[in-house]
Structure 1
Amino acid sequence: MNILNREKVKLNVKVNDKFEAIRMAGQLLVEAGHVEPTYVDKMLEREQLSSTYLGAGLAMPHGTNDSKPFIKSTGMSILVIPDGVDFGGETANLVIGLAAVGDEHMEVLSSVAVLVSEEEDMARILQAQTEEELIAIFEEGMDL
C-alpha cells in the first residue's frame, strides 16, 4: 500500500476551521484503509492538546500516543487550502494527515518538514495543478 496516492490528495479545499480540515484529512486515511475511524477522533483529541501547526504554512495532524492500535499501515493524506485555515493563530495552506506504524512517524514527519522548509518547494506544492503533479513533488523530495 502506498503512503501517498491520488485518492489521498485534495487540491483547492475550502474548510470552515481546522477541525473540519483534520476530519477531512483523517477520513481520507480511513477510506484508504490506513486507519480505523476511531483514529480521526484521536487526531482531533491531539489537536486539543497542542497545535499540530509546524510553521511555514504546514500543519500535520496525527493521532495521540494511545492511537497506535487504530493504525493499520503508514499513510498520509494531503489537503491544499489556498485560502488557508487558522491553526491557533497561524495560517495553514497545507494540511497533511499522518498515520504511522511503529517509529515511521518521526521519519515521515522529518522528511515532510525538510521538503516544505524550502520556500520554492512549498510554492510548487501549493501551485500544483493536479494530484499527480503534487505527488511527484513529494516523491522526489521524500523518497516515497
Structure 2
Amino acid sequence: MNIFTKDNIIMNQTFSDKEEAINAAGRILADRGYVQPEYIESMQKREKVISTYVGNKIAIPHGINGSESQIMESGISLLQVPQGVSFGKGKTAYIVIGIAGKNNTHMSILTQLSEIVCDVENVDKLIQAKDEQEILDIIGIK
C-alpha cells in the first residue's frame, strides 16, 4: 500500500475548528485502511497535550505514544484549507497533514515532510494547488 496517493488528499476544505480538521484528516487514514477508527481519538489527545501546528501554515496531527497498535499501515492524509483553520492564537493552518507511521516510521515521515514544508514556497504551492496531482508532485512521498 502506498503511503500517499490522490485518494488521501481532499481539496478546498473548510473547518470550524481544529478538532473538526483533525477528525477529517484521521477519517481519511481510517477510511483508506491505514489506521483503526480509534486512532482519530489518539490524534485528538495528542493535540490536547501539545499543538501539532508546526508553523509555516502547516499542522501535522498524529497519534499519541501508545497508539501504535491502532496503525495498520503507514499513511499520510492531506487537507487543503484555503481559508485556514485556527490551531490556536496566531496559528492558522492552511494545510493539515495527518500521519500514521507503522513500526516507528512516523519520525522518518515527519523528517521527509519537514524538509518539504519548511520551504515557504512549497507551502504556498500546496495552498494554491488546483488538483491532487500538483500536491503529490510537491510532497513526493509514495
TM range (shorter): over 0.9
Aligned counterpart, 2:62: 62
| TM superposition outliers: structure 1 runs of 4+ over 2 Å | none
Other structure's SS at 1:72 match:
coil
TM-score (norm 2): 0.96
Distance 1:44 1:100 in 2: 16
Whether 1:109 aligns to 2:110 is: yes
Give matches, 1:45-84, under 5 Å. 45-84=45-84
Query: What's the CA shift for 1:112?
Result: 0.8
Residue range with higher mean Cα deviation, 97-106 or 27-36: 97-106
Deviation per residue, 1:51-95 (Å, 9 max, x gap): 001010110000010100000010000001011111021101110
Aligned counterpart, 1:136: 137
Residue range with higher mean Cα deviation, 71-80 or 109-118: 109-118
RMSD over aligned CA atoms reads 0.9
Unaligned runs of 5+ in 2: none
Aligned counterpart, 1:22: 22
Distance 1:44 1:50 in 2: 10
Distance 2:46 2:78 in 1: 18
Aligned counterpart, 1:7: 7
Query: What's the CA shift for 1:103?
Result: 2.3
